[in-house]
Amino acid sequence: MKKTLLAIPLFWGIAASAQEVKSDAPVVDTTKAWSIQGQNTLMLNQAAFSNWVGGGANNVGWLAGVNYNMTYEKGKDLWENIIILGYGQNNTKGVGTRKTQDVINLSTNYGREFAKHWYLSGGASLQTQFAAGYADGNNPEAAKISNFMAPGYVNVGVGVTYRPNDNLTVTLRPANARWTFVLDDDLQYAGNYGLKHDGDSSLFQFGFLGTAMYKLKIMDNITLTNTGSAFSNYLDHPERLVLSYSGILNMKINKFISTNITLDLLYDHNQIRRTQLKQTLGVGFAYNIDNGQKRSKNVDNQTWQKK
């Protein structure tokens, strides 16, 4: 009996020691290197009139889009990829079908951290559209003014990226090559998009490109994403900056329904010598994807995108 009583505390002592040894085992990092955050949207609008003395024309419209941010973060490596696609149409009785939205925006940027929040980086981007655009409110019977890859803008450059958290990214590229492509034969005339001669299909520029993205949480379920860029061509009239701004105000109603308001401003001396403006408003279905936790220390800044 005494031997049994002595064995019990001895057993518990061995078990406790084993647990202490186990607790010293290295902790496994389960944070994913890849994170994918995105939004898929489908906006619909419709109006019908019958004997309405106030007037009006029956119309129906739609707008679909995707906006994805795929980020790889591990150690000193940072690789961000952005996919923005959007297209929309409106059909009005007596007027016909008109394009209301048309955008292709793809970009990738890789950086290697050399100081806290600072990365030596290099990347590329492509901006163009899906379908032809026409003067007079996208009237297909009017003069064609744009098309797929007419223009198409390709940027490739190296520089530095500053990214203190997931809500702010600033990239400065003092060495950036910019190609303007005009692959539609009908639009290849001197002066169009800066082309030097009739029949040219591209224009090469080399200069400085600066881009910035800032996300602001205004209220619960209301966020504003601001994106801006500036380009200066070293080779010809560096004072003629190409300036652009894009703002997206997203107001989530619930998990699947949201309202989006977008504002785009652009000034490009090679296009027209006036500020271009585009604004859209839509209410419809939206499905968000948030797969993977970023390795950034300020992960709380991502809460504005959570479902």
DSSP codes joined into one string, the chain: -HHHHHHHHHHHHHHHHHHHHHHTSPPP----SEEEEEEEEEEEEEE--SS-TT----EEEEEEEEEEEEEEEETTEEEEEEEEEEEEEEEETTTEEEEEEEEEEEEEEEEEEEETTEEEEEEEEEEE-SS-EEHHHH-TTS-EEEBTTBTEEEEEEEEEEEEEETTEEEEEEEEEEEEEE---GGG--TTGGG-SSTT--EEEEEEEEEEEEEEEEEETTEEEEEEEEEEEETTS-TTS-EEEEEEEEEEESSSSEEEEEEEEEEEETTTEEEEEEEEEEEEEEEEEEEES----S-GGGGGGG--
Q: What was the pLDDT predicted at 88? A: 93
Q: What was the pLDDT predicted at 24? A: 54
Q: Which residues in the chain land under pLDDT 50?
A: 1-12, 14-23, 28, 296-307
